[in-house]
């Protein structure tokens, strides 16, 4: 970047840098304890940007985000075999019953609570950060893109049934090792500087993801 005269960057980091936090609400100052090579690589990326900024003229910010869902267009859908929405949709389309891993967590409905954000909201935050850097306005080195309250896996299952019109009762399986009951982040700093907010409801997250998934099968 320095050789090409590029002196601004918005880095897509990840909530995986926190590992399994032991706090009710994750902030940018929460201890970083990545538990995967992916999370470790994102944290190293943040370190490299900070090092380069000290050594040369580089303006940067890193956006740490959590579970990205939904679709901004029917032309693109999430095919990951590891993400919750595709797993649930594939099960329904195959005539199988979606599964919840554990319903005895200390949460309102007993299922894990996570931050889920719409991909279009995530994209808007990246654009806002880039414009701020381009205008020479001050930015924080990192921002969490979080909802502040989260959504449970049980709530997602109920919304999927409502949106798809496919009635089902999820199968309850044993907990997975290492799954914390709740991981939710504050998005206050991003709201202050990047106009970050949850523009899409859970129903819209499910509906856009389902529409794109069906379009891919058409």
Q: Annotated catalytic residue: which of 18, 38, 65, 143?
A: 38
- State pLDDT tens for residues 69-116: 999 999 999 999 889 999 999 999 999 999 999 999 999 999 999 999
pLDDT at residue number 45: 98
Q: Where are the domains of the chain?
A: 8-217
At 206, is the pLDDT very low, low, confident or very high (cuts 50, 70, 90)?
A: very high
Average pLDDT for residues 178-182, to the nearest whole number? 83
Fold of 8-217: Rossmann fold (3.40.50)
Q: In whole angstroms, how far apart are CA 57 and each of 41, 61, 113?
A: 23, 14, 41
pLDDT at residue number 199: 95
- As a whole number of Å, the CA-based R_g of the chain is 19
Average pLDDT for residues 131-143, to the nearest whole number? 97
Average pLDDT for residues 126-147, to the nearest whole number? 97
Please answer whether residues 76 and 155 qualify as being in contact, where contact means their C-beta atoms are separated by less than 8 angstroms.
no
SS3 assignment for the chain: CCCCCCCEEEEECCHHHHCCCCCCCECCCCCCCCCCHHHHHHHHHHHHHHHHHHHCCCEEEEEEECEEECCCCCCCCCCCCCCHHHHHHHHHHCCCCCEEECCCCCCCCCCCEECEEEHHHHHHHHHHHHHHHHCCCCCCCEEEECCCCCEEHHHHHHHHHHHHCCCCCCEEECCCCCCCCEECECCHHHHHHHCCCCCCCHHHHHHHHHHHHHHHHC
Average pLDDT for residues 138-145, to the nearest whole number? 97
Average pLDDT for residues 1-19, to the nearest whole number? 94
pLDDT at residue number 218: 79
Q: In b/e form, how buried is each residue of 170-205, taking b as 16+ CB within 10 angstroms? A: beeeeeeeeeeebbbbbbbbbbebbebebebebebb
- The torsion region of residue 70 among left (phi > 0), alpha (psi -120 to 50) and beta comes to left
- State pLDDT tens for residues 40-75: 999 999 999 999 999 999 999 999 998 999 999 999
pLDDT at residue number 82: 87
**Is 178's pLDDT higher than 80?**
no
Average pLDDT for residues 194-217, to the nearest whole number? 96
Active site annotation includes 38: yes
């Amino acid at each position: 970047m320095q050789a090409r005269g590029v002196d601004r960057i918005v880095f897509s980091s990840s909530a995986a840098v926190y590992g399994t936090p032991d706090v009710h609400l994750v902030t940018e100052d929460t201890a970083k304890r990545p538990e995967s090579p992916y999370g470790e690589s994102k944290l190293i990326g943040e370190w490299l940007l900070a090092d380069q900024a000290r050594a040369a003229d580089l303006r940067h910010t890193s956006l740490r985000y959590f579970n990205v869902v939904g679709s901004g267009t029917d032309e693109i859908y999430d095919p990951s075999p590891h993400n919750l929405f595709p797993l649930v949709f594939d099960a329904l389309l195959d005539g199988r019953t979606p599964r919840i891993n554990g319903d005895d967590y200390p949460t309102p409905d007993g299922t894990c609570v996570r931050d889920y954000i719409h991909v279009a909201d995530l994209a808007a935050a990246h654009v806002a950060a880039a414009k701020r850097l381009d205008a020479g306005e001050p930015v924080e080195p990192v921002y969490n893109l979080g909802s502040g309250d989260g959504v449970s896996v049980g709530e997602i299952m109920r919304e999927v049934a409502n949106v798809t019109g496919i009635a089902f009762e999820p199968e309850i399986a044993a907990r997975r090792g290492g799954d914390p009951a709740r991981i939710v982040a504050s998005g206050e700093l991003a709201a202050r500087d990047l106009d970050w907010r949850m523009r899409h409801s859970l129903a819209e997250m499910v509906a856009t993801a389902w529409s794109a998934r069906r379009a891919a099968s058409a």
